[in-house]
Amino acid sequence: MLISRDRFVDGVEYMKSISWLLAILFLVWLMMLAGLWIIFKIIIPIPREETLSILIDAAKVGLSASLSLLWLWLWREMATRFFWHRLRKKQRDA
């Protein structure tokens, strides 16, 4: 069975979209590792004073939660932009 030129071009487009998805996943994975490194190496070792231990612990939890929410927001933004870019491109090509 022969593959027409149109099918080959579509295959190239699919490979581009797959490579973009892999790039998003790889970037999200790297950001997750960087966030975990920041939490374990910078936030957790913050020294505690006995008089302010509850406030310091609350600040640690707040910083860690903020970092996690930032990571989730960035992931959502990248996925949303990729989706709308693909949708617009598909509509433009149709």
Q: What is the pLDDT of residue 1?
A: 44
For the record, the structure tokens of 6 come out as 């149109």
Q: Measured between alpha carbons, how far is 39 from 66 in angstroms, rounded to an integer? A: 11
Q: What is the pLDDT of residue 65?
A: 96
pTM, entire model: 0.72
The predicted-structure confidence for 17-30, as pLDDT tens digits, reads as follows: 788 889 889 999 99
Q: What is the pLDDT of residue 60?
A: 94
User: pLDDT under 50 in the chain at which residues?
Assistant: 1-2
Q: What is the pLDDT of residue 5?
A: 52
Q: Measured between alpha carbons, how far is 69 from 38 in angstroms, rounded to an integer? A: 14
Q: What is the pLDDT of residue 16?
A: 78
R_g over Cα of the chain: 22
